[in-house]
Chain A
Amino acid sequence: KAGVTQTPRYLIKTRGQQVTLSCSPISGHRSVSWYQQTPGQGLQFLFEYFSETQRNKGNFPGRFSGRQFSNSRSEMNVSTLELGDSALYLCASSLDLSGGYEQYFGPGTRLTVT
């Protein structure tokens, strides 16, 4: 079956702009999580959605937001971009993040803010 897909794969934006990243989970998966990966901070949890509801949110400013649609596809949005937002953004899907199920990761979106 098809894996987790993320679009776009690469993105270059300017400070102050906003960006929307998209994630399509594996068919049948209702949980989608987002992570930010940087060399300095490692892998950090952004938020998790299950059946269109945000169940948990990491320690990120309000500029980071997300949503999930009825088909489980998810988007995350970052407004007023800062240089420090440059990172690899990973999306992961699972049947249910709280159920001990594996997470399957997408290829990521590499965001560069100049």
Chain B
Amino acid sequence: ELKVEQNPLFLSMQEGKNYTIYCNYSTTSDRLYWYRQDPGKSLESLFVLLSNGAVKQEGRLMASLDTKARLSTLHITAAVHDLSATYFCAVEKPTGNQFYFGTGTSLTVIP
């Protein structure tokens, strides 16, 4: 079974600082997705990465994918309080039709 690991599990960072969340997975896949979940809410799609070397940016968040290393990163630049949430990466099964989610990273941005 495909395993997806995220680290760190918990992240407390000050406003204005930069940090990176890592997502490692165990089996070759070219498709990786990042989601955000606010407390008590559903998941919101952030990024869809469909090939090796893919990089997507939206506001203070930037995601990248290295399929050879089986690694994706979510980089946060100059964090603001509104970014406080849990972030999940999800990997698509190579044969399709199934997603495997990481454990999630709970991010708290403090003033």
Contacts and interface: CB of A to CB of B under 8 A. Distances in A.
Given A100-B31, A100-B48, A102-B48, A45 B99 contact: yes
A43 B87 CA distance: 12
A58 interface: yes
A55 B97 contact: yes
A42 B100 CA distance: 10
Interface stretch (A12-20, A75-83, A104-112): A104-112
A110 B50 CA distance: 32
B43 interface: yes
Interface residues of A, number: 25
Interface residues of B, number: 24
B101 interface: yes
Nearest to B41: A107
Contacts of A58: 98
Contacts of B42: 90, 105-108
B96 A97 contact: yes
Given A100-B50, A105-B42, A108-B42, A43 B88 contact: yes
B33 interface: yes
Nearest to A104: B45
Interface of A: 33, 35, 42-45, 48, 50, 55-56, 58-59, 90, 92, 97-98, 100-108
30 contacts: A42-B101, A42-B102, A43-B88, A43-B90, A43-B104, A44-B101, A45-B98, A45-B99, A45-B100, A45-B101, A48-B97, A56-B97, A56-B98, A58-B98, A59-B1, A90-B42, A97-B97, A98-B92, A100-B31, A100-B48, A100-B92, A101-B48, A102-B33, A103-B33, A103-B45, A103-B99, A105-B42, A105-B45, A106-B42, A107-B42
